[in-house]
Structure 1
Amino acid sequence: MRLPLILLSASATLGFSYVAHAAAPADQVAKLGQSLTHLGAEKAANADGSIPEYTGGNTTLPAGFTSGDSMRPNPYADEKPTQVIDAKNAAQHPERLTATVTELLKRFPDFKLNVYPTHRSAALPQWVLDNSVKNAANASTTGDGVGIANALPGTPFPIPVSGSEAMWNHLLRYQGSTANSKFDNWNVDSNGTATLATTGDATISYPFYQDPARTTVSDPKEVFYRVKVAYTAPARRAGEAVLIQDALDPLAQPRRGWQYLPGQRRVKLAPDLSYDTPNPGSAGASTYDDTYVFSGALDRYDWKLVGKKEMYIPYNSYAIVYDIDVGKMTTPNFVNPETVRWELHRVWVVEATLKPDMRHIYQKRTFFLDEDTWAAVASDEYDARGGLFRGSLAFLAPSYDVKVPVGPAHMIYDLIGGSYNITGMTGPYGGVKYIPDLTSMQWSPESLSGSGIR
C-alpha cells in the first residue's frame, strides 16, 4: 500500500518513516499538470501571494543575450530587496530559516538576508515533464529505498511518500545532459583569511538524460551521474584529476572513483571518494557527500519525509555563479550578504538519521529540497552529541536559454571551526557551458592521465 500525498503547513510534520516500493495511485497522478506541476510542486500561489503561481518558469532571454552563451546575465538585476532579516528581527521568522542561518544571525550582528521578490523561474523541457508524470505511475525504489527502478529520464517520484524517494528526486534532478565549467573553490578560515582551495575544470554528465526519446526503463547498474575534474591550481594540486561514477542502484553497483596523481604518474582506483571522506577539492572543509548539499548513496541513513514548508532560501543566484569578482564574495565569517539573493519558496523537508550499524561524522542531517526543481538548496548537519556541526547552501541560477533550472555553486559553513567553503563560481572562467557528451574513451579512467598532466 502506498500512502497518499500529504502537504503540510510550516509547523506540521509527518509521524512516519514509511518506505514505499509501488507506484502512486491514479487519483494522485491525475493532479500532475493540473493542481500540481509535472514535478509535483503546488502550482498555486501561497495564501498571501508572496510565493506566486507557477506558470512554467522563465524562458525570456535578457536583452543582448544570445542563447547558448555561457555567461548568463541576471534577469532580475534591477530588483531591490523587499525586506532585510538580521539579528534584530530574526525571531519573527523562526519557521522560515534553517538552523544554520539562525545560528549565523545569532553569532554575527552584521550577517543578514536580503530578501527579494520570489520568482519561480525553473523551466524544464517538455519531455522531462512528460516522463516525470509517467514515472509517478511506474517508478519504484529497491533495497529499502537505496536503489531505484523503472524510471524514465525525469523526476522519479513527483508524489513522494518517503524520505528516500524525495532524495532520489534530488539525485536525479534535471541538470541537462552534459555541462562543462571551470570554477574556483575557496576556504575562508576563522580569522577571515580567504585561501584558494582548488581551481578545477569539471565536466559533469547525466547519461540518464542523454536520450529524450528513450522509452525503456533503466538498468539498476546504469550510471546516472559522472564527473571528471582536472585541477589546475593551486600549484600543489595542479595536474591532479578525479573521475567519479554513480549507478542507479548502489547496492548492485557501488560508486566507482579513480584518481590521477602527477607524482605517481598513474591512475589508481580510489574507492574512498564517497560518504564522509574529506573532500580534497575543498581542502578537507567538506565531505564527498556534502557535494551539491548531498551526493552519493542513501544506505547509511534512515530517511524521513517530514513535510513541506515555506522558507527563505538562496534563489536566482546569478551574482554567485557568474560574477567575475570572486574576491568580494569571500568576506570573513560568512559569504558577503550583498552578493546573496534570498527568496521565499516552498521546500520539502527530509530528515536523515544515521543507522545504528553505520559510521559517519554526521549523526543527523536535515535537507531542504526546492519544490520546483527538487534540488537540495540547504541542509543542517549534526554531530554525534546532537550539536549543530555544519550547514550547506546551494545557489540555483537557472539557465533560461536551455531550460536547465539549477546551477553549480554551493557552500558549507563549519559552525564548530568557524570557517566556510564556497565552490562553483564560474564567472572568472566564462560561465557554464552545455556541450555534447564526451566519448566513451574520454570517460575512461585512462583518460585522467591525459587531462591531469601539468
Structure 2
Amino acid sequence: MRRLAQGVLILGLSMMWTTSKAAVSPSEAKRLGRELTPVGAERAGNRDGSIPEWQGGLPKKKRKLTDARIDPYASENPLFSIDATNLEKYKDKLSAGQIELLKTRKGYRMDVYPSHRSCGYPETITERTKQNATLAKLSNDGSDSLDSALGGAFPFPIPQNGAEAIWNHRLRWQGLGRIEAYQTNFINPDGSFYGLGQEQLALTPFASTKVNSPREANGVQMMILDMMTSPPSRNGEVLLVHYFLGNKANNGWMYFPGQRRVRRLPALEYDNPVPGFENLETADQYPMFAGALDRYDWKLVGKQEMYIPYNNYKFVAKRKMSEVYQGLYPNRDLMRYELHRVWKIEATVKPGMRHMFARRTFYLDEDTWMLMEADQYDSQGKLWRVMEATIYPAVELGACVSQEFISWDLNANRYLGEYATQESKPTDWLAGDEGRIDPRQFEPEDLRRIGAR
C-alpha cells in the first residue's frame, strides 16, 4: 500500500494509541483450549443436549472456486417451526426483532433444525487469539478504539465488556479479503423489488497473521471497493470506503461516471445514510455493524440460548433472486435456524452524543463472534430496524463466513437483502496473501480509471 500509506492513511499513524484498558490475566487465558474453545466459546454442550459439545468444527478442505458447496445437513428435516401461533412457547430464545416479525408478518415462520457446531478456525488464528487474550487492549480515551492486538485473530476471546465483544465481530476472521459479485435487493411490501448489482473487492489488512499491531496495518481494518453494474442508470458508479481501527471516521469516495468526477463523501459514518440505498441503511449498519464505537456505552449483558440462522447452505445456494426475496420477508423454506449460545450486548447512546438509533441490541454467535441478530430502537424506545445475518462454513478457509444479511425497516414496511449472491459467480475468499488483489486499487485517485474500464 505505497501511495495509500503515504496519503490518507498517514493519519492513522498519528492516532492516539494511549493508555488502555487491561487484558485478562495469564491464568484466565489458560481456559482457552480447555473448558473454552480456542476462540472463547463454551466447549461443553447445554444440559439437555440440544446444543452439542464443540469438537473442532468442519475440517478444512481443498475446493475449486467453481465447485458447488456441499451441504452436509441437506437430509435433515425441521424439528419444529415457530410462528405467530406458538411463539409464546419459545419467546425466551427469541430476540425482540424476531418476535416482532413473527407477530406482524403474516405467514412468517422459523424452521428449527438440529444444532451443529460446524465452525472452527485454522490453528494459526487460534494461537494468535490466545496471545491476544493477555495482549489486546482498548484505549481509555472514551472512544473504545483498538489500542493493541495481534492481527489475524480475535482480539478479546474472553471479553470484559460489550465494546470488546463488538470488536471480535468487527475483526472476525474470514480470510484476508474476497472477490465477489452480488446484488443488494430493495424489496417492497407487495414483493416487487429491484437489485443493485455490484462487483466488490474487499481487503482486510489487519486479518494478516504477519501484522502484530494496529500500527503495522497503518490503522486500517478493512477497505471495500464496490463497482456498480446494474441497473443501467447506476452502471459505472464506484464506491470506496476505508474503515479504521482507531478513533477515526470512515473515509469514503465515490466516482460518478456522468460527471467523470471522484468526490469525497462528507460523512460515511454513524447514522449517515449509505449513498443510493434509499435511506434504508446507515453507514454503521453495513455489514451488520461497522465503524466507530465512541457514541455508545456498550454493556455486555451475558450469554443466552437463541434460535439463529446457521449452516445456511440452502439460502445462499444458486437460484433465481425471485425465489429468495419476496414480499415482507425472504422465502421461509430456504431459511434454517438452530439453537446456539449467543452473547447479548446493549448499546445506549452516551449523554451528549446523538444517533438515530438511541439503543441497539446485538446478539453474537459464541463460536464465531459473528453478529447474527440486531435490533435498533428510536429515541422513543420503539423498535425501528431489525437485522439478521446468515452463516455457513467455507471449507476452503477452514472457517465460517457471514455474507448475506437482511435488514427490515419497520416504519417503511420494506427490507433489504444485502450481499445477495444467489445469481452471481462464486465468492473467492482469500485465505492468505495470494496477491489476487492489488492494494493500489483502494486508492481514491484510482477510482476514475476503475469506473471507466
Q: TM-score, normalised by structure 2?
A: 0.90
The alpha-carbon deviation at position 239 of structure 1 amounts to 0.7
Q: Which of the numbers 242, 246, 251 marks the counterpart of 1:245?
A: 242
Structure 2 matches for 1:408-419, cutoff 5 A? 408-419=403-414
1:60 to 1:22, Cα distance in 2 relative to 1, 3 A: closer
Q: The residue matched to 1:327 in structure 2 has which SS? A: helix
Q: Tell me the equivalent position of 1:133.
A: 130
The one-letter code of the counterpart of 1:32 is L
Q: Tell me the equivalent position of 1:319.
A: 314
Contact 2:303/2:342 (CA < 8 Å) preserved in 1? yes
Contact 1:38/1:133 (CA < 8 Å) preserved in 2? yes
Q: Tell me the equivalent position of 1:168.
A: 167
Q: Which of the numbers 74, 77, 89 marks the counterpart of 2:74?
A: 77
Q: CA RMSD in A?
A: 1.9
Q: Tell me the equivalent position of 2:6.
A: none
Counterpart CA distance in 2 for 1:71 and 1:225 is 28
Q: The residue matched to 1:338 in structure 2 has which SS? A: helix
Q: Tell me the equivalent position of 1:88.
A: 85
Corresponding position: 1:218 with 2:199: no
Counterpart CA distance in 2 for 1:281 and 1:321 is 24
The one-letter code of the counterpart of 1:445 is P
Contact 2:129/2:154 (CA < 8 Å) preserved in 1? yes
Contact 2:198/2:227 (CA < 8 Å) preserved in 1? yes
The alpha-carbon deviation at position 238 of structure 1 amounts to 1.0
CA shift digits 1:387-430 (9 cap, x unpaired): 01011001112201221311211110111221111111213112
Contact 1:276/1:289 (CA < 8 Å) preserved in 2? yes
1:442 to 1:376, Cα distance in 2 relative to 1, 3 A: same
The alpha-carbon deviation at position 345 of structure 1 amounts to 0.7
Counterpart CA distance in 1 for 2:314 and 2:233 is 29
Q: Tell me the equivalent position of 1:59.
A: 59
The one-letter code of the counterpart of 1:230 is M
Contact 2:312/2:335 (CA < 8 Å) preserved in 1? yes
Structure 2 matches for 1:83-162, cutoff 5 A? 83-142=80-139, 143-144=141-142, 146-153=144-151, 154-162=153-161
Q: Tell me the equivalent position of 2:41.
A: 41
Contact 2:44/2:54 (CA < 8 Å) preserved in 1? yes
Structure 2 matches for 1:38-437, cutoff 5 A? 38-59=38-59, 66-69=63-66, 71-142=68-139, 143-144=141-142, 146-153=144-151, 154-196=153-195, 198-210=196-208, 212-214=209-211, 216-219=212-215, 221-249=218-246, 251=247, 253-280=248-275, 282-435=277-430, 436-437=434-435
Contact 2:20/2:147 (CA < 8 Å) preserved in 1? no
How high is the sequence identity, in percent, across the aligned residues? 37
1:222 to 1:275, Cα distance in 2 relative to 1, 3 A: same
Q: The residue matched to 1:379 in structure 2 has which SS? A: strand
1:36 to 1:69, Cα distance in 2 relative to 1, 3 A: farther
CA shift digits 1:173-195 (9 cap, x unpaired): 10100211100111112233222
The one-letter code of the counterpart of 2:71 is N
1:60 to 1:133, Cα distance in 2 relative to 1, 3 A: closer
Q: TM-score, normalised by structure 1?
A: 0.90
Aligned residues: 428
The one-letter code of the counterpart of 1:239 is G
Counterpart CA distance in 1 for 2:22 and 2:401 is 29
Counterpart CA distance in 2 for 1:126 and 1:60 is 11
The one-letter code of the counterpart of 2:130 is V
Counterpart CA distance in 2 for 1:43 and 1:67 is 32
The one-letter code of the counterpart of 2:87 is A
1:281 to 1:432, Cα distance in 2 relative to 1, 3 A: farther
